[in-house]
Amino acid sequence: MNKELVDKIKNNPDYQELVSKRTSFAIKLSISVLVVYFTFILTIAFNPSVLGAPLSSDSVTTIGIPIGVAVIIFAFITTGIYTKRANGEFDDLANKIKKSVKED
């Protein structure tokens, strides 16, 4: 790849939009996953009795079980959200950049 082409792509406003959007989107999702995960782990470390509380007075099922399953489902859903947006919006933008660079 020559330098001229690299500069052309770098100066393309769509490219800058793509990079900033995708980076901030990836960081936001990562942070939300990490916050959920570390909240879960630190609750276990500091206050395990919160997760050990029974769902209702006559049940032995603790609140920790639906919460744990929810963390797994949450991780799955965030990958789904990212995949959908990256495969739609971001790829469209990337194709638009490719096209405009080739036309010039």
CB of 13: closest distance to other proteins in angstroms? 20
For 65, the token pair is 């079980």
Q: Does 10 bind other proteins (CB under 8 A)?
A: no
Q: Does 93 bind other proteins (CB under 8 A)?
A: no
d(CA 41, CA 74): 15
- Identify which of residues 7 and 39 has a Cβ nearer to other proteins in the complex: 39
Q: How far apart are the first and last CA of the chain?
A: 16
Instruction: Classify 32 in phi/psi space as left (phi over 0), alpha (psi -120 to 50) or beta.
Output: alpha
Q: Does 78 bind other proteins (CB under 8 A)?
A: yes
For 23, the token pair is 């980076």
Q: Which of residues 19-58 bind other proteins (CB under 8 A)?
A: 22, 26-27, 29-30, 33-34, 37-38, 40-42, 44-46, 48-49, 51-52, 54
Contact residues: other proteins, CB under 8 A:
22, 26-27, 29-30, 33-34, 37-38, 40-42, 44-46, 48-49, 51-52, 54, 59-62, 64-65, 68-69, 71-73, 75-76, 78-80, 82-83, 86-87, 91
